Each structure stands twice: as C-alpha cells, then as structure tokens.
C-alpha cells in the first residue's frame, strides 16, 4: 500500500521543521537505535486521525551552493515531483514577502493541490494577519502555530481531503516488489536494464504511474515481479537529483514500496558513509535485503579480493548480517542471472511462517543449551513463543519479566531461530511480553 505524501515548502525560517516535528511527533525517535544509522529529519511517516501518510520537509534538503532563491525554487520543485499534497508555509508575522511570491509562482504551475498554512499565529488576536495571504492565490489561508501546536488539525483536515483515494501503484499480493537502492552512479539503472534484458525475463509492462514513477513489471519462471523505480531511474536530468538528501529521499520512498531491497554498492569505489545510511533505512523498514556489489568487472582481483570485500561489508553493515552478498557486473552481465532467484528466496523467507510447536521446541532446546541469564538474583523465564507476523517474521516471547531478556540473549535466540529455519535475507523481530 502506498501512502499519500505531503510535502512542506516555504522560504527559510517560516517554521517548516517545527511543523514537521509537530506532525511527526515522537515517531522520529523510533528509528534511532541502530548503531551507525543517523537520523534524518526530512522524511517520516505520520498519522492524522484515520490517515496514514508520509511527510517531507523540503527545507531539510539542502541544494549545495546555489543562491537563496534557487534553493527554494528547487525545493518547491521537489515537492511538486514527490508529493500528492503540498503545504505551502508562510510567516504570518511578516506578511507576504517576495520569496513567498517566488514559491507561489512555481506552485501555480504544478497540478498538485496546495494548502496554505500561515504560521506563527500564536494567539487568536493575531488571526487577522492571515488576510494578507489571500493575495497569494491559494484560497483560504489556515492560521497555525507550530510552537504552540495550534490549528494543525484544520490544516491537516484540508490536506487529507486532497489525498488520492485510489492507488495506481497497487499490485496484487502475490507480486514480488523489489527495488535497487544506492547512491548516484553505483549502477542502479544499468542493473535494471540488465535484469530486463535477460533471456528468461519476460517484461510485461513498463508502466508510468502516479508521481511519474516508472515501475517495471516482469515475469520469471512463471512468477511475477515489479521493480520499483528509485532514482527516477529512467528520467534523469533534474539539477537536484545528485544532491545526497534527495537521493536518500527517493531511496526511502522506494524501500517503503518494496518487499525486497537490493542495496547496490560500487565495487570499484568501495563503501562510503552514505551507503551505510541507505542500508540502515532498509533494515529499519523491516524489508528483506540483498547486498549487490556492482562493477566487479572493473576491480583488479586476486583470489582474496572477494573475501576481503565481503569482510569489509560485514564490518560496515553489522546489522545486515542476514543479507546475502552477490558480486556482479551490469556491464558484462556476469551473475546478473542470480539476482531474481535470490529475490525470490529472500521474499519467501520474508513471508515464512513457522509452526508454534516447532518454534517452541527450538526455543526450549536453546534454553537447555544456554541457560537464561539472571539479573540481581532473578532469572529470565521463557514460557512460550509464537510467530505473530510476517514481512518481517515477528516473534513474541512470553517471559516473566521482559527487562531480563538482554540484547545478547535475544541475539542468541535469534541465531538459534535462524539456524533452525533459515530466514536468509530477512530481518526477524523478537518481542518480549510479560505473561501475567
């Protein structure tokens, strides 16, 4: 299910990130506990009443050394490209400025609904300040106060009225959706083309869908797949496409729509910080993951090179220890044919359900082999475990006190579960619950 996307635009200091944080609330903190993964405040999921949506703070996408006006212009264009609904934010205390008018001009050209939020209206007496903003031409201005959390409900109600209620990017449940993510120039588009060009692949449709995303549908061995478009892979050329924040944003969007994520690294250039960040998002999102080292043709190799690179990956991406690694070349097509079968296996494991009695045998054997830890004289007791979800496989373990299930023992249980059932390519989650 693709969630609607709301983007906030406006010149600096009108309160975009304040509003973003208000709407996102504490959610943003959930994504912080993975070592090596920096949080990013430009993109997050959010909820308003019954609506689930994603929100972008375009102000957080910095465009490099461009002049001020060019920066906000590009941010507005990103909003138009990426969003279903745009919240155009202005500062009620300053009246309409020429920078506001610049933003407005760009937004007029977009065929996207725009809701005008007038921020910093901190008390009812200030409400008359909003009337100025009718001149921007986006209808009724909504008075809000980011710092006080006022008026956001009405603004979001209006935005939600414009959320699309049908989803053109919806595929059947049995279609396996995967994406190739990675920083610019690692070879994502070349890989997509190589996959689509394979003999055994039957391309059924390369469909233009909402938001100009171009997904490729294909068949392999009778199964159906969709390659989710990432970096606007087929229509490059926008100035902002090479900025890091923008490519992260695109990656996040693609991850969200995928079952399996192929993290593409450049074998020639090695691993850089940006690769880790992108990989961290895939892991956090609970997607199945395969690590693809592309451009292997261009690497000077001896018999140790691959092992060394593999170790390097394991060191840098410790949280992805379940992800298989494949070394290949989009250019020479070497080992391209292994990709779809790997996607298939990862997807099967991502959806695997294990029987409760078999699971409990595994857990009890594990406990017999390595007794549960004690803390301040109290021993962890495990009563019972059951799988409660797939995509990713999620297990609830009923215990006497969840605090006693320390990370290292949880890790041990995870490894036993993996030894018993496989689960290659997919993260698994273990949740401890107190049994009263």
Q: What is the largest CA-CA distance in the chain?
A: 75
Burial class of 281 by CB neighbour count within 10 A (0 to 12, 13 to 18, 19+): buried
Of the two residues 191 and 289, which places its CB atom closer to ligand GDP in the complex? Answer: 191
Beta-carbon contacts of 292 under 8 Å, excluding residues fewer than 6 positions away, are: 180, 191, 262, 263, 264, 265, 325, 326, 328, 339
Nearest-5° Cα angle at 156, 41 to 257: 55
Write down the least CB distance from residue 403 to ligand GDP, Å. Answer: 37
Q: Is 378 annotated as a binding residue?
A: no
What is the Cα–Cα distance from 366 to 368, expressed in whole angstroms?
A: 5
String of DSSP letters for 32-72: T-STT----SSEEEEEETTEEEEEEEGGGS--SS--HHHHH
Residue 187 has what DSSP assignment? S
Q: Is 119 annotated as a binding residue?
A: yes
Q: Is 231 annotated as a binding residue?
A: yes
User: For residues 98 and 11, is the Cβ–Cβ distance under 8 A?
Assistant: no
Of the two residues 127 and 429, which places its CB atom closer to ligand GDP in the complex? Answer: 127
Write down the least CB distance from residue 12 to ligand GDP, Å. Answer: 4
Q: Which residues bind ligand GDP (CB under 6 A)?
A: 10, 12-18, 59, 119-120, 122, 145-147, 182, 184-190, 231, 233, 294-295, 297-298, 329-331
Q: Is 296 annotated as a binding residue?
A: yes
User: For residues 58 and 83, is the Cβ–Cβ distance under 8 A?
Assistant: no
Q: Is 183 annotated as a binding residue?
A: yes
Of the two residues 150 and 430, which places its CB atom closer to ligand GDP in the complex? Answer: 150
Q: Where are the alpha helices (DSSP H) in 110-187?
A: 152-161
Q: Is 12 annotated as a binding residue?
A: yes
Of the two residues 102 and 410, which places its CB atom closer to ligand GDP in the complex? Answer: 102
Write down the least CB distance from residue 331 to ligand GDP, Å. Answer: 4
The pair of three-digit structure tokens given for residue 40, joined into one six-digit string: 């990013």
Among 346, 348, 363, CA closest to 430: 363
Count H helices and E strands in the chain, helices first.
12, 18
Of the two residues 157 and 241, which places its CB atom closer to ligand GDP in the complex? Answer: 241
Of the two residues 251 and 342, which places its CB atom closer to ligand GDP in the complex? Answer: 251
C-alpha 300 chain-centroid distance:
34
Of the two residues 53 and 88, which places its CB atom closer to ligand GDP in the complex? Answer: 88
Write down the least CB distance from residue 116 to ligand GDP, Å. Answer: 15
Q: Is 60 annotated as a binding residue?
A: yes
Write down the least CB distance from residue 90 to ligand GDP, Å. Answer: 10
Write down the least CB distance from residue 283 to ligand GDP, Å. Answer: 20
Among 368, 65, 120, 390, CA closest to 259: 390
Write down the least CB distance from residue 120 to ligand GDP, Å. Answer: 4
Q: Is 229 annotated as a binding residue?
A: yes
What is the Cα–Cα distance from 154 to 144, expressed in whole angstroms?
A: 9
Of the two residues 150 and 202, which places its CB atom closer to ligand GDP in the complex? Answer: 150
Q: Is 305 annotated as a binding residue?
A: no
Write down the least CB distance from residue 426 to ligand GDP, Å. Answer: 24
Q: Is 132 annotated as a binding residue?
A: no
Binding site feature residues for GTP: 10-17, 57-61, 119-122, 182-189, 229-233, 294-297
Binding site feature residues: 10-17, 57-61, 119-122, 182-189, 229-233, 294-297
């Amino acid at each position: 299910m693709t969630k609607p996307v709301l983007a906030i635009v406006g010149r600096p200091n009108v309160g975009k990130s304040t509003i973003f944080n208000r709407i996102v609330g504490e959610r943003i903190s959930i994504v912080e506990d993975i070592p090596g993964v920096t949080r990013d405040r430009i993109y997050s999921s959010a909820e308003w009443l019954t609506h689930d949506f994603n929100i972008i703070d375009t102000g957080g996408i910095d465009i490099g050394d461009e002049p001020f006006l060019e920066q906000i212009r590009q941010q507005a264009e990103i909003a138009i490209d990426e969003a279903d609904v745009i919240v155009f934010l202005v500062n009620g205390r300053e009246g309409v400025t020429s920078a506001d008018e610049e933003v407005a001009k760009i937004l007029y050209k977009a065929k996207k609904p725009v809701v005008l939020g007038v921020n910093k209206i901190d008390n009812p007496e200030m409400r008359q300040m909003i009337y100025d903003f009718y001149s921007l031409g986006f209808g009724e201005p909504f008075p809000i106060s980011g710092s006080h959390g006022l008026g956001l409900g009405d603004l979001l109600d209006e935005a939600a009225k414009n959320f699309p209620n049908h989803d053109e990017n919806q595929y059947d449940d049995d279609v396996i959706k995967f994406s190739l993510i990675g920083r610019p120039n690692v070879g994502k588009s070349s890989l997509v083309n190589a996959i689509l060009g394979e003999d055994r692949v039957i391309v059924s449709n390369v469909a233009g869908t909402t938001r100009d995303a171009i997904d490729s549908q294909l068949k392999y061995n009778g199964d159906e797949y969709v390659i989710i478009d990432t970096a606007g892979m087929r229509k490059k050329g926008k100035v902002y496409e090479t900025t890091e924040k923008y490519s992260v944003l695109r990656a996040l969007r693609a991850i969200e729509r995928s079952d399996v994520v192929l993290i593409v690294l450049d074998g020639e250039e090695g691993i850089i910080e940006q690769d880790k960040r992108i990989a961290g998002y895939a892991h956090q999102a609970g997607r199945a993951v395969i690590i693809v080292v592309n451009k292997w043709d261009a690497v000077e190799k001896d018999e140790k090179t691959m092992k060394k690179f593999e170790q390097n990956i394991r060191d840098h991406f410790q949280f992805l220890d379940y992800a298989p690694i494949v070394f290949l070349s989009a250019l020479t097509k070497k080992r391209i044919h292994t990709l779809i079968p790997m996607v298939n296996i990862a997807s099967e494991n991502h959806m695997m359900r294990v029987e409760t009695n078999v699971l409990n045998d595994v857990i009890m054997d594990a406990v017999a082999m390595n007794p549960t830890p004690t803390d301040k004289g109290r021993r962890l007791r495990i009563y019972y475990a059951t799988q409660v979800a797939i995509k990713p496989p999620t297990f609830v373990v009923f215990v006497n006190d969840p605090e006693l299930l320390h990370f290292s023992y949880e890790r041990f249980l995870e490894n036993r579960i993996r030894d018993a059932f496989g689960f290659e390519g997919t993260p698994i989650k273990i949740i401890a619950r107190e049994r009263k």
